[in-house]
């Protein structure tokens, strides 16, 4: 039985095809659990991973947890009905604890296998809600997950022959799944996950990353 009361039925017969990663932005996992189980807050997730690596189930996976909110992925809204939400005990500015990352890898491996979700289906809250959300943030180690087959990362990007072209960048980013948002926000959102230190206008590396993602 779900610990949190904040859930409902998945709509239209939808089943999990995505995993959305969040950070809690709270003092500790206990505070996050209280918030995620508070009916007045109307938020929840399926799993909470603490900094010490302990994992708590808050909403049964066959239920629609209230974690994603407004946004879309691959041109489809109601991400809550087609995703599993995982909250990570992190303040949004600090590195993610090693025990937490170890536990997350085990949890993700189990979820992807059980639900037949591909690595490309593991996304950040920021990916599906550009401008509204930034979690799991610039300190999250997406490349580590990708090395374990638990997310995607555009390795060996060839940018030398790529000319910056916003229309092409946009087409490739949206083919991967990103929502249709303003050019500047789309660039910022892709960089937040794949090039968090990058600044300035669109460049060849951005375009090469988007091209690789379009074929992920």
Domain ranges in the chain are 7-147, 166-214
Which residue among 87, 105, 158, 188 is the active-site one? 87
Per residue in 22-71, pLDDT tens? Answer: 999 999 999 999 999 999 999 999 999 999 999 999 999 999 999 999 99
Question: For 130-142, how does the pLDDT look when each residue is reduced to its tens digit (9 = 90+)?
Answer: 999 999 999 999 9
pLDDT tens, residue by residue, 71-130: 999 999 999 999 999 999 999 999 999 999 999 999 999 999 999 999 999 999 999 999
Would you place residue 159 in the very low, low, confident or very high pLDDT band (cuts 50, 70, 90)? low
Instruction: Output the pLDDT for position 131.
Output: 97
Beta bridge partners of 63: 9
Instruction: Establish how many alpha carbons lie within 13 A of residue 190's alpha carbon, considering only the half-sphere containing its beta carbon.
Output: 34
CATH topology of domain 7-147: Lysozyme-like (3.40.80)
Among the residues of 125-203, which ranges form H helices? 125-128, 142-147, 166-176, 183-194
Q: Calculate mean pLDDT across residues 1-13.
A: 95
Examine residue 24 and say whether the peptide bond preceding it is cis (omega within 30 degrees of 0): no
8 Å CB contact between 126 and 189: yes
Give percent above pLDDT 90 in the chain: 94
pLDDT, averaged across the chain: 96
Active site residue 87: yes
pLDDT number for residue 160: 66
* pLDDT tens column, 142-156: 999 999 999 999 977
């Amino acid at each position: 039985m779900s610990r949190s009361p904040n859930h409902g039925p998945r709509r239209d017969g939808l089943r999990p095809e995505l995993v959305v990663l969040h950070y809690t932005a709270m003092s500790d996992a206990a505070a996050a659990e209280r918030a995620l189980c508070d009916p007045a807050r109307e938020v929840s997730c399926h799993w909470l991973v603490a900094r010490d690596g302990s994992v708590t189930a808050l909403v049964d996976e066959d239920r629609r947890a209230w974690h994603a909110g407004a946004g879309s992925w691959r041109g489809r809204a109601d991400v809550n009905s087609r995703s599993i939400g995982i909250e990570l005990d992190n303040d949004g500015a600090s590195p993610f604890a090693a025990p937490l990352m170890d536990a997350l890898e085990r949890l993700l491996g189990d979820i992807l296998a059980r639900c037949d979700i591909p690595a490309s289906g593991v996304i950040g809250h920021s990916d599906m809600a550009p401008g509204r959300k930034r979690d799991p943030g610039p300190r999250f180690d997406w490349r580590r997950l990708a090395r374990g087959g638990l997310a995607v990362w555009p390795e060996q990007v060839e940018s030398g022959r790529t000319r910056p072209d916003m229309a092409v960048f946009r087409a490739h980013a949206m083919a991967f799944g990103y929502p249709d948002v303003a050019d500047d926000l789309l660039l910022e959102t892709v960089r937040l996950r794949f090039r968090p230190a990058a600044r300035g206008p669109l460049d060849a590396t951005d375009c090469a990353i988007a091209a690789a993602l379009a074929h992920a």
